[in-house]
Amino acid sequence: DADVTQTPRNRITKTGKRIMLECSQTKGHDRMYWYRQDPGLGLRLIYYSFDVKDINKGEISDGYSVSRQAQAKFSLSLESAIPNQTALYFCATSDFGGGAAGELFFGEGSRLTVL
Amino acid sequence: QKEVEQNSGPLSVPEGAIASLNCTYSDRVSQSFFWYRQYSGKSPELIMSIYSNGDKEDGRFTAQLNKASQYVSLLIRDSQPSDSATYLCAALSGGYNKLIFGAGTRLAVHP
């Protein structure tokens, strides 16, 4: 089984619908991240969390919210999806601080299409 | 200026040649840099990290950091078709708390 698991892997939805992407990990890492990837734009950070009580906005948090239900679980929600949120979403984890914070372990990605 | 910038490519090199991938960064990032490789349809994976000025070698890969000029490079020697992928340059920002990525450079190695 994968160390970082994302569900669903693919989702097609309509404008205005609420969507939740879920991420769970077995690596025992405290730090978890949500990124989105668009062609030509690389990976952009949406939200990150260092523990259950610590949630931080990233570069592009507008239109998104997150929940850290447990050390191993970090969910991303789109309250009212819009077409420009169509993208590939990645969950990632890392160990604590310093250079280890730059070694991310990614899930397999969740492809979201908003019509 | 973006925190981390890369030429999107594609960079096309013949098999056996040296592929040179470049990245520049702003003052807003820390001095910790990472190269990730992403095959089409897959998730990124870390291949190199570099923290000090100079070169760091790992097999066919060499990472180079020049703090005075604010650029980071990745050299791939004896390029193989299996090296064809997008290479993402990244730097720690926000006090070593978050990893910021460049747009990535697509490398194509042709036989």
Better pLDDT: B76 or B92: B76
Task: Give tens-digit pLDDT for B51-62.
Answer: 999 999 999 999
Residue A1 has a pLDDT of 65
A103 contacts B49? CB cut-off 8 A: yes
Mean pLDDT of A5-17: 97
B99 contacts A90? CB cut-off 8 A: no
Residue A40 has a pLDDT of 82
For the cut 80, the answer to whether the pLDDT of residue B95 exceeds it is no
**Closest chain B C-alpha to A8 CA, distance in angstroms:** 15
What DSSP designation does B82 have?
G
For the cut 70, the answer to whether the pLDDT of residue A98 exceeds it is no
Mean pLDDT of A78-107: 91
In chain B, residues with a C-beta closer than 8 Å to the C-beta of A41 are 103
Task: Give tens-digit pLDDT for B24-45.
Answer: 999 888 889 999 999 999 999 9
Task: Give tens-digit pLDDT for A41-62.
Answer: 889 999 999 999 999 999 999 9
Phi, psi for residue B93 in degrees, rounded to 5: -135, 175
In chain B, residues with a C-beta closer than 8 Å to the C-beta of A90 are 43-44
- For residues A2, A20, A62, A67, the Cα torsion angle rounded to the nearest 10 degrees is -70
Residue B97 has a pLDDT of 80
How far is it, in rounded angstroms, from Cα A76 to Cα B30?
27
A106 contacts B44? CB cut-off 8 A: yes
| Candidates A40, A41, A45; nearest CB to B98 | A45
What mean pLDDT, rounded, does chain B reach?
Answer: 93
How far is it, in rounded angstroms, from Cα B66 to Cα B39?
27
| Interface of chain B toward chain A, CB-CB under 8 angstroms | 6, 8, 32-34, 36, 42-46, 49, 51, 88, 90-92, 96-104
